[in-house]
Amino acid sequence: MGDTTTPDYSVLVCGSGCAAQVVTALVSQRYRAFALSLVADEAQKWAATLGSGEFVLLAKGTKISSRPAKITSDPSVAREADVIILIVQAQEQSEYLEQLAPHLKFGAMVGVMPARSGGDLLFATKLGDKAKDAVFVGFETLPWACQWPRGAWGCKAEILGVKEQVLAGVTPASQTQRALRTFQEIFGESPKIVGSPSSLGISLRNPGMVVHPCVMYGRWGPESGWDGKPVKQKPLFYHGVDDLTEKILQGTSDEVQAICRRMERVVRGLSLKDACSLKQFFVDSYTGLMSDTSTLRACMNTNRNYAGLEHPCKGEAGSFMPNLQHRYLAEDVPTGLCFAKGLAEILDVPTPTMDKVLLWAQGCLGLEFMFCGKMQGRDIDKTRAPQGMGICTLEHFIQVARLRSNLTRPSGLAALALCCSG
């Protein structure tokens, strides 16, 4: 982290998974840090495991020892924090924000890693009036690949790798430079935190919301030819992408791009450049790891990082069934694909490919997000779709997403005209 003077921040890390424990250890080296877990007795378990000792973090041959000032299950600890870092599963983010909301300091910065799609909307709706006095920083991904050595939960972890850079969107946009500088100071020289022009760009960039449900649909959906019977081997996930799956992936990616272009027309000055096409995402993210980048399918089939990765399945050797409750559907559909579909509906952008994947996925999950072609199913409140947060009009979306900040936008009628034009 260097020898520069440490700013006087108090930092709260939310979560008790491996990444959350790693961040707590890193932050505790230089700041007054707290750890919060709302999961059952995990805070108590973590505190007991650590005892009076220090958490040991192994990284690139170095050994770091530190301990947080407090490990607790009481969300009122947020009153002491200038910066809050939320590192929990997407489905848990809502509960944490609700519990933290009454205790946030004025002007507190809340970083969510990863934010998934619609993280800024969730932040605004859960914090209510407090959101206008707080800063949301949505990170596209976790910067670290890490693991616990066997039996080391709560007392030791290892960083396997650090990404060179991570994109982050800030709401309100006027706080971007201050927020990026703050988090860079907290995390140190790497990864480099790069600002995205808007949180919406991070939401629509989300590759998991396209890749995971679409590849699952391509292999197990109604067009795949699968007969519903067990298969002898687990199919390859990325390297198994075929012509049908590529068509589904490309169609969904194209529909997300149509959403981006329509939104840029509606809000003048808005840039969604980071929400690139799926093929461009692979080209940008995996340079040198693919032997063929001529097509989307080739990018996925020849990516060395994906070698051997299989579809999530249940069963035993020689008799495997797909796990259609896996996070590839259970997480990436409600916290990703539903957001994109919901925004498309508000913008009147047709999404035929996205629709059939979503309808199939909700059937697999036993939930109802779409009903009669609209995002109005009985379980819509379990999603990041704008409609699930009570946002059903373009004007309301622009307001809650705070897209007016630093942007010039048309009047309501002009925006509606642009939205509905070809």
d(C-alpha 356, C-alpha 367), whole Å: 15
Q: Which of 116-130, 167-181, 315-329, 399-413 has the lowest mean pLDDT?
A: 399-413
Asked if 80 contacts 34 with a C-beta cutoff of 8 angstroms, the reply is yes
Q: According to CATH, where is 1.10.1040.10 located in the chain? A: 205-420
- Residue-averaged pLDDT of the chain: 93
Question: 10-196: CATH homologous superfamily?
Answer: NAD(P)-binding Rossmann-like Domain (3.40.50.720)
Ranking 25-34, 60-69, 331-340, 397-406 by mean pLDDT, the lowest is 397-406
pLDDT tops 90 at residue 2: no
Residue intervals in the chain for CATH 3.40.50.720: 10-196
What local confidence, expressed as pLDDT, does residue 144 receive? Answer: 87
Going by pLDDT thresholds of 50, 70 and 90, the confidence category of residue 404 is low
How far is residue 212's CA from residue 233's CA, in Å, rounded to a whole number?
A: 19
User: Helices 338-347 and 352-365, interaxial angle, to 10°?
Assistant: 140
Q: How many CB atoms lie within 10 A of CB 154?
A: 18
Q: What is the pLDDT of residues 344-393, one digit of tens each?
A: 999 999 999 999 999 999 999 999 999 999 999 999 999 999 999 999 99
Q: Above 80 in pLDDT, residue 36? A: yes
Query: For the structural domain made of 205-420, what CATH number should be given?
Result: 1.10.1040.10
What percent of the chain has a predicted confidence (pLDDT) above 70? 94
pLDDT > 80? residue 278:
yes
Number of residues assigned to the chain? 422
Q: How confident is the model at residue 3 (pLDDT cuts 50, 70, 90)?
A: very low
Q: Residue 109 forms beta bridges with which residues? A: 83, 135
Q: Average the pLDDT over 278-299 and give the result.
A: 95
| pLDDT tier for residue 406 given thresholds of 50, 70 and 90 | very low
- In the chain, the largest separation of any two C-alpha atoms, in whole Å, equals 65
- pTM, entire model: 0.90
The H-or-E segment that residue 65 falls in is strand 62-66
On the question of pLDDT at 259 being above 90, the answer is yes
Mean pLDDT of 38-42: 93
In the predicted model, what is the mean pLDDT of residues 276-298? 95
Active site residue 103: no
Per the CB < 8 A criterion, the answer to whether 126 and 98 are in contact is yes
Please choose, from the candidates 85, 285, 286, the residue with its C-alpha nearest in 3D space to the C-alpha of residue 167.
285
Q: Yes or no: say if 321 and 315 are a contact pair by the CB < 8 Å rule.
A: yes
Q: Is 112 exposed, middle or buried (0-12, 13-18, 19+ CB in 10 A)?
A: buried
Q: Which residue has the higher pLDDT, 409 or 16?
A: 16
Q: How confident is the model at residue 5 (pLDDT cuts 50, 70, 90)?
A: low
SS3 of residue 56 by DSSP? strand
How far, in Å, CA of 122 to CA of 94, rounded?
Answer: 7
Give the pLDDT band (50/70/90) at residue 119. Answer: very high
Burial class (CB in 10 A: 0-12, 13-18, 19+), 185: middle
What pLDDT was estimated at residue 407?
Answer: 43
pLDDT digits (tens, 9 = 90+) for 121-169: 999 999 999 999 999 999 999 988 899 999 999 999 999 988 889 999 9
pLDDT of the residue at 408: 42
Catalytic residue among 103, 212, 239, 396: 212
**Residue 150: what residue type?**
R
**pLDDT value of residue 410:** 45
